Amino acid sequence: MVDKVEKSEAEWREELSDEQFWVCRQKGTEPAFTGVYHDCKEDGLYRCSACGNALFMSDHKYDSGSGWPSFWEPVTPDAVKTQTDGSHGMIRTEVLCGACGSHLGHLFNDGPRDKTGLRYCINSVSLDLDKE
Active site residues: 121
Element (H, E) at 61: strand 61-62
Question: CA-to-CA distance for 101 and 35, rounded, in angstroms?
Answer: 21
Q: Three-state SS for 20?
A: helix
Question: CA-to-CA distance for 74 and 111, rounded, in angstroms?
Answer: 13
Q: Residue 116 is which amino acid?
A: T
The answer to whether 54 touches 74, Cβ cutoff 8 Å, is: no
